Amino acid sequence: MTRTFLHSFDPPTANPVSGPTIDLDVVAIDDAGIREVLQTPGAAYGAWSILDALLTPTGPGTPFIFKEPLGQAREVKVALSGLFGRFIARAYLERYFNLSIFAHLGNRVIDLDGRRKVKIKRLSRGDLPDWIACASDLSSLTVAEAKGCHDAGGPATALARAWKQAARIDVTARSRKVTVKRIAIATRWGMAVSGPADAHLSVKDPEDEGEPIKPEEKDALFIGLLRLHIANLIRPLGHAELSDVLKRMTHQPFANRLRADLQTARSLLDAAPVGEVEKTGSIGGLVGGIVTRAGPVNDADISGTDQEVLARLNLRPIFVGIDRDLIRAAIDAEPEAVRGRLTETTQPDDFARSDRAGGWIVPLGQERRIIGGV
């Protein structure tokens, strides 16, 4: 079911849509929220699973309007606004900019390839942007920051804050600045009662030109980004050791230690349980885990019957996983294999949903179950 937002874009010449509104599917927002909560450091709880219940029941194609304000206390409003703002922004970036690989920054700078000195450079004090992201073909390097707000006057003030945050880092290769697209996204919420009536999504999107870098440095940058994307997603799903070694590989400057990490990562991947989606031949083996409204379920053997019980209890069980062969290509730092794997045409599936970055979200229950991998 799609919902709409009033949409403004700077510069207008780069606007990805021609009309005054954009639409986003609520399921796509939920999926973006699932990935966002899992990949963000901290407790992975099911915040995404309440979104549909908060919206006015006005049907497909209508504005994205909450039934009532997001809480009464200011701190609750700020927290939920920021969280949902990231869900909306990620779904927007996935749909309108074709981004699918996301690495989270938090409040620390990161290395993307320690040996080739490809890293994130902080330019000023303050919170860093939310993401470094790219498309599934390992292109379109993007720095993005999301904000949510309740400002009666619109999202302009929040957008200015987001833009300031998006400008706090550079991506560098051996101290040379790399070309990036910087995107700031601010969502002003609409309320059916006691608040602004319209939902606005405002975007600022210039490209920041850098210096040319070598092809191997460019490949290393995107492989590092993919490794972090995978590591952050699989860690809360019961694969902490593999996650840790993938992260270690991105900042390891010593060749002998990198070789040891490479062997460790291969062994851990070989030992990882592989999930197969029942009743489909179009999805390969997945490394991941089951997630419910309460968060990931990692400490139990979840049988097919258990999966059906979780669904009947309305705990919304899903299997979140990443293509095993893609993880191997990321470990082995094979950019062409990664591109080939990610650009393969996947047959449509009535239940499973792809993120175009080797990741799948599979709702579980009577119609679809995961075999193995949990």
Q: Does residue 255 lie within any of the structural domains? A: no
Q: Name the residue with higher pLDDT: 277 or 174.
A: 174
Question: Residue 289 and residue 310: Cα distance in Å, rounded?
Answer: 14
Q: Does residue 202 share a domain with residue 77?
A: yes
Residues 342 and 257 sit within 8 Å (Cβ to Cβ): no
Q: Does residue 313 lie within any of the structural domains? A: yes
Strands 190-191 and 65-66 come out as parallel
Q: How many domains does the chain have?
A: 2
User: Residue 312, Cβ neighbours under 10 Å: how many?
Assistant: 10
**For residue 301, what pLDDT is reported?**
74
**For residue 21, what pLDDT is reported?**
97
pLDDT (mean) for 24-49: 81
Q: Give the distance, in angstroms, between the CA of residue 243 and the centroid of all CA atoms in the same chain.
A: 16
Last residue of a domain, one of 162, 182, 215: 215
Query: How confident is the model over 190-248, as pLDDT tens digits?
Result: 999 888 889 999 999 988 999 999 999 999 999 999 999 999 999 999 999 999 999 99
One-letter amino acid for residue 51 of the chain: L
**For residue 44, what pLDDT is reported?**
58
Residues 110 and 143 sit within 8 Å (Cβ to Cβ): no
Q: Name the residue with higher pLDDT: 78 or 186.
A: 186
Number of helices and strands (H, E) in the chain? 10, 22
Q: Does residue 299 lie within any of the structural domains? A: yes
Last residue of a domain, one of 163, 191, 215: 215
Q: Does residue 352 share a domain with residue 205?
A: no
Q: Does residue 191 share a domain with residue 282?
A: no
Q: What is the mean pLDDT of the chain?
A: 90
Question: Residue 199 and residue 21: Cα distance in Å, rounded?
Answer: 10
Residues 66 and 192 sit within 8 Å (Cβ to Cβ): yes
Last residue of a domain, one of 215, 235, 253: 215
Question: Residue 256 and residue 175: Cα distance in Å, rounded?
Answer: 24
Q: What share of the chain is helix, strand, coil (3-state, %, to 5)?
A: 35, 25, 35
pLDDT (mean) for 2-21: 95
Q: Does residue 166 share a domain with residue 32?
A: yes
Most confident of 1-10, 277-286, 295-304: 1-10
Element (H, E) at 134: strand 131-135
Q: Does residue 201 share a domain with residue 109?
A: yes
Q: Does residue 109 lie within any of the structural domains? A: yes
Collapsing DSSP to helix, strand or coil, 11 comes out as: coil
Which phi-psi region, left, alpha or beta, contains residue 159 (left: φ > 0; alpha: ψ -120 to 50)? alpha
Query: How confident is the model over 151-196, as pLDDT tens digits?
Result: 989 999 999 999 999 999 999 999 999 999 999 999 999 999 888 8
Nearest CA to 205 out of 163, 246, 245 is that of 163
Q: Does residue 236 lie within any of the structural domains? A: no
Residue numbers of the domain that contains 294 = 276-371
**For residue 318, what pLDDT is reported?**
92
- Cis check: omega of the bond before 11, within 30 degrees of 0: yes
Contact residues for 281 (Cβ-Cβ < 8 A; gap 6+): none
Element (H, E) at 147: strand 142-149
299 pLDDT tier (thresholds 50, 70, 90): low
Q: Does residue 300 share a domain with residue 160?
A: no
Element (H, E) at 266: helix 255-271
Q: Does residue 341 share a domain with residue 202?
A: no
Question: Residue 299 and residue 370: Cα distance in Å, rounded?
Answer: 16
Q: Does residue 11 share a domain with residue 141?
A: yes
Q: Does residue 182 share a domain with residue 55?
A: yes
Q: Does residue 64 lie within any of the structural domains? A: yes
Q: Does residue 196 share a domain with residue 47?
A: yes
Question: Residue 164 and residue 124: Cα distance in Å, rounded?
Answer: 10
Q: Does residue 165 share a domain with residue 19?
A: yes
Q: Does residue 315 lie within any of the structural domains? A: yes
Report the predicted TM-score, pTM, of the whole model to 2 decimal places: 0.93
Q: Name the residue with higher pLDDT: 344 or 204.
A: 204
344 pLDDT tier (thresholds 50, 70, 90): confident
- Please say if the pLDDT value at position 144 is more than 70: yes
Q: Does residue 175 share a domain with residue 65?
A: yes
Structure tokens at 282: 């179009």
Contact residues for 110 (Cβ-Cβ < 8 A; gap 6+): 103, 119, 120, 228, 250, 251
**For residue 9, what pLDDT is reported?**
97
Q: Does residue 230 lie within any of the structural domains? A: no
User: Residue 262, Cβ neighbours under 10 Å: how many?
Assistant: 16
**For residue 345, what pLDDT is reported?**
60
**For residue 76, what pLDDT is reported?**
79
